[in-house]
Amino acid sequence: MILHKFPYLIFLWGMMVVSLGFSQVHDDQKSIEELLVFAEGLRKSNVDQFNALLIDLDSSESEMTFYESCLFRYLKIYSEAFKGDYNSSSRALEELIEECNDKNIYIRAHSLLANLQVIKGDFESAVSNLNRSIQLVETIDNHFLKTQTYNVASMIYRLINQDDLSLKYAELLLANPANESDTCYGNFNRFRIYMRQGDGEQFTDEIFSAINQCSETENLIPALFLKFDFIRYTVNEMSSELQVSNALNELVQLEDSVEKTQFKNLKVYYNSLKSKIFYLSGLLEDAEKYALLTIDQNASIGETEQLLVVHDVLMSIYVKRNDMQSAYAALKAKADIEQSLYNEKLAKQVAYYRAIHENLVQELEIERLNQSNDLLALENQLAAETTKKQQLMMLLILTLLLFLGAWSYKIKRKHDYFKEVAEIDHLTQVYTRKAFEERMRDLLDNNSAKHEPVNLAIMDLDHFKYVNDEHGHLVGDWVLKQAILTCEDVADQDIMIARLGGEEFAIVSPGIEPCQMIDLMNKMRVAIEMMDCAESGAELTVTASFGVSHSGLSGYNISMLLTHADLALFEAKNNGRNRVVSYQSVMAKTPVAKIS
Ligand SMILES: Nc1nc2c(ncn2[C@@H]2O[C@H](COP(=O)(O)OP(=O)(O)OP(=O)(O)O)[C@@H](O)[C@H]2O)c(=O)[nH]1
């Protein structure tokens, strides 16, 4: 079963002869990839040179890229397959497909695998691999690989009787051939099918043109097959003597060409045809001789249509000779072969539909997987979008929080600023009247509860209007600041100073006795009088008057303390200024206490 298909392989190799301009001799300057492609072009047109080049390339294997080593492996498998080792070549191709992740390699490998499987009679696998090759080749832009695949497809489909598909790929090949051989093989498949279907008559001229075109382009095998098909198609029992004799002459002339091809299938075809034509010519001896020769040559091939033809011839000869026993044997052999061919035809049909079905299942599975992937992708997209939305929301919240933080900080700063402005006098950096009153109330409450004294003095700079008028407001400001700094320097205990307004200040000292307060105020008064005002740029002496009250007389009441201190101050001013007067002395109408 295997051996009888061998001629198909030879035929397919022959069919795929590529004229890519590789007829030139091997050029040492070529890169490894160029050499591999060059070898691929040679593999059918010049098998010896192809094999020699493969041996040459063996030494460069370590320098090859991954793709180059895959292509090299493919070519070596091809070479082995050509020698007839179909099984190990098929295994090697399957390994190649497994290991070389490259479309160009897949296409070549699946095509060759399909080719080998047809030879082995494994039609289902052949169709399946062929389909893979066709599907892949449509996804790449490689004209050479495309036509090579169409060529194999047209051939394999013809061999398994899928005429429509074979014609489809033949038309594709003819529509855009890569070379002249493509045209020859496109026509070859096309017209063989037409003749097999009984439609050859109307294409007579085209068939002759195709035979000539194949011969001229040195595609001898397809030229001869077409020629024999045409003879078998046109010459039969109804043909005239002249037609039969012309056909015989033509056949005799082709003997050398057939011999030259060394193609066993072609020889069998030739001899069976000769047997038939001899029979039609009435030359029964010759007819019998070529029939027996055909049977003999066909032994290593298996059941073929040619065998059927010659058994038919033999049967007719034996009937004519009245040798009914031999005729019956021939008839029996013919019936067996018919049965066998019929079974094979059926097997091809079943194999084709099974492969197509298998393909459909695979496509549906791929479609289902694609849909699941799409769904998964959609889900991922949705999840990504949700995450993105959440992230955006977080960002928004964060921005809002930052904004609120910044805003609160700004508000707090403003608040602090206004609070400071409201509580601290910007010129002298002591409490404002408002802050003074707040703190005073707390202090009075506290000290009242603890029965600790609170002393209050109002200090007023003397003739300050004169300072302003004489030296200007800037000097006046300097004097105000300096007077306060001086008072603060003098104090060696806890005091609170506040600006009551203009050049009038309150000085509070809790926890000390009234006489200690008087002493402290006097120290301040003297320090102000001694103040060096040169730094202000003006020459002047500043003095201040102090009116002092204390909780022992005025109670823990801010208004009373202020009123009584003011009265004492008034007294100090009236009595010549630059002095400290206590409210106690005012009450006692004692002379102004001037402590110098
Ligand atoms: N440079 C300056 N002058 C101020 C400030 N606040 C009030 N004054 C001035 O202080 C002066 C107060 O004058 P008066 O109330 O007449 O009192 P005086 O001249 O000090 O006289 P006696 O208090 O009676 O000794 C006015 O001329 C105000 O303009 C200030 O912040 N800076």
Residue 351 — very low, low, confident or very high, per pLDDT cuts 50/70/90? confident
Distance CA(166)–CA(484), nearest Å, equals 116
- Alpha-helical (H) ranges within 237-323 are 241-253, 255-261, 264-281, 284-298, 305-320
pLDDT of res. 365: 76
> How many domains does the chain fold into?
1
Would you say residue 578 has pLDDT above 80?
A: yes
- The string of DSSP codes covering 550-568 is EHHHH-S-HHHHHHHHHHH
Residue 297 — very low, low, confident or very high, per pLDDT cuts 50/70/90? confident
Report the nearest-CA residue for atom 24 of ligand 1: 463
Report the nearest-CA residue for atom 29 of ligand 1: 465
Residue 45 — very low, low, confident or very high, per pLDDT cuts 50/70/90? low
Q: Is residue 504 part of a domain?
A: yes
Determine whether the shortest distance from the Cβ of 503 to ligand 1 is under 6 A. Answer: yes
Q: Is residue 228 part of a domain?
A: no
Residue 494 — very low, low, confident or very high, per pLDDT cuts 50/70/90? confident
Q: Say if pTM beats, i.e. exceeds, 0.80.
A: no
Determine whether the shortest distance from the Cβ of 502 to ligand 1 is under 6 A. Answer: yes
The ligand 1 atom nearest the CA atom of 460: 23
Residue at token pair 């001037």:
594
Q: Is residue 318 part of a domain?
A: no
Q: Which residue has the higher pLDDT, 44 or 243?
A: 243
Q: Is residue 460 part of a domain?
A: yes
The ligand 1 atom nearest the CA atom of 468: 1
What is the CA(464)–ligand 1 centre distance, in A? 5
Report the nearest-CA residue for atom 14 of ligand 1: 465
Question: Which of 464, 466, 474, 545 has the most ligand 1 atoms within 8 A of CB, as the residue to mutate?
Answer: 464
Would you say residue 110 has pLDDT above 50?
A: yes
For residue 457, which of 367, 522, 518, 548 has the smallest C-alpha distance?
548
CB 134 within 8 A of CB 126: no
Over residues 167-203, the pLDDT tens digits come to 999 999 999 998 898 999 999 999 999 999 998 889 9
The ligand 1 atom nearest the CA atom of 475: 1
Which amino acid is located at 49 in the chain?
Answer: Q
Q: Is residue 186 part of a domain?
A: no
Would you say residue 21 has pLDDT above 80?
A: no
The ligand 1 atom nearest the CA atom of 474: 1
pLDDT of res. 443: 95
What is the interface pTM, i.e. ipTM, of the complex?
Answer: 0.97
Report the nearest-CA residue for atom 3 of ligand 1: 476
pLDDT of res. 29: 60
For residue 88, which of 116, 59, 46 has the smallest C-alpha distance?
116
Residue 534: domain span: 433-588
Determine whether the shortest distance from the Cβ of 468 to ligand 1 is under 6 A. Answer: yes
Over residues 516-570, the pLDDT tens digits come to 999 999 999 999 999 999 999 999 999 999 999 999 999 999 999 999 999 999 9
The ligand 1 atom nearest the CA atom of 464: 20
What is the CA(570)–ligand 1 centre distance, in A? 15
The three-class DSSP label of residue 509 is strand
Would you say residue 8 has pLDDT above 50?
A: no
Distance CA(133)–CA(108), nearest Å, equals 7
Residue 66's alpha-carbon distances to 36, 97, 201, in angstroms, are 13, 13, 52
- Residue 583's CATH number: 3.30.70.270
Q: Is residue 244 part of a domain?
A: no
Report the nearest-CA residue for atom 26 of ligand 1: 465
Question: What integer best gives the mean pLDDT of the chain?
Answer: 88
Determine whether the shortest distance from the Cβ of 120 to ligand 1 is under 6 A. Answer: no
Determine whether the shortest distance from the Cβ of 461 to ligand 1 is under 6 A. Answer: yes
Over residues 153-168, the pLDDT tens digits come to 999 999 999 999 999 9
Q: Is residue 203 part of a domain?
A: no
pLDDT of res. 19: 34
Residue 449 — very low, low, confident or very high, per pLDDT cuts 50/70/90? very high
What is the CA(233)–ligand 1 centre distance, in A? 140
Would you say residue 3 has pLDDT above 60?
A: no
Question: Which of 429, 465, 542 has the most ligand 1 atoms within 8 A of CB, as the residue to mutate?
Answer: 465
Distance CA(296)–CA(393), nearest Å, equals 88
The ligand 1 atom nearest the CA atom of 577: 25
Q: Is residue 158 part of a domain?
A: no
Determine whether the shortest distance from the Cβ of 475 to ligand 1 is under 6 A. Answer: no
Determine whether the shortest distance from the Cβ of 473 to ligand 1 is under 6 A. Answer: yes
Would you say residue 591 has pLDDT above 60?
A: no
